[in-house]
Amino acid sequence: MEPVLHAEPGASWWPLLWGPVFALLGFGVEALTGAVRPLLWCVVALALLLPTLVWVQGRRRVYAVLLTPVALHQGREELRVRDIAAAEGVEPRAGARVLGGGWSLPRGTGPVPLRLADGTVVTAWARDPDALRTALADLLARDPS
């Protein structure tokens, strides 16, 4: 397995608590007013948990950033490190292709312009763009191929 030089998970798992907490609050309010239907509130918790699980898992796949000595993974896209020429001193260009398969940078992320070996400029992204830029620059300085 490759060592991980920079990683961002894309999303945390805590939103999965929303549905069960809402159901627990509903159960509590219902308990204060009289008859309680625990099975109904379990169904409500499950009905809210399942779509949230799909949403969180999707965000973890689409917004994840992973840098190894071999490749930079941005969402659904993989860019080999040997195809990256520079990570520092690259001017961002309007209209540069955004890595990861989206039309624009994901909300809450910052741009990391990269010059590829063929001279084109693409835009990588990360929640901590300085950390990704530094990790890429260190990796490219060690392995200029």
- Tens-digit pLDDT profile for residues 72-104: 999 989 999 999 999 998 988 888 999 998 889
Taking the C-alpha atoms of residue 45 and residue 33, their distance in angstroms, rounded to an integer, is 20
Averaged pLDDT for residues 24-34: 94
Residue 12 confidence class, pLDDT cut points 50, 70, 90: very high
Residues in the chain: 145
Q: How many CA atoms lie within 13 A of 139 on its CB side?
A: 24
Residue 145 confidence class, pLDDT cut points 50, 70, 90: low
Residue 34 confidence class, pLDDT cut points 50, 70, 90: confident
Averaged pLDDT for residues 113-136: 96
Taking the C-alpha atoms of residue 69 and residue 140, their distance in angstroms, rounded to an integer, is 9
> How much of the chain exceeds pLDDT 70, in percent?
98
**Beta strand segments in the chain, E:** 6-8, 65-67, 71-74, 77-80, 84-86, 97-98, 110-116, 121-126
> Which residues have CB under 8 Å from 68's CB, separation 6+?
2, 3, 4, 5, 81
Averaged pLDDT for residues 105-125: 94
pLDDT at 97: 94
Average pLDDT, the chain: 93
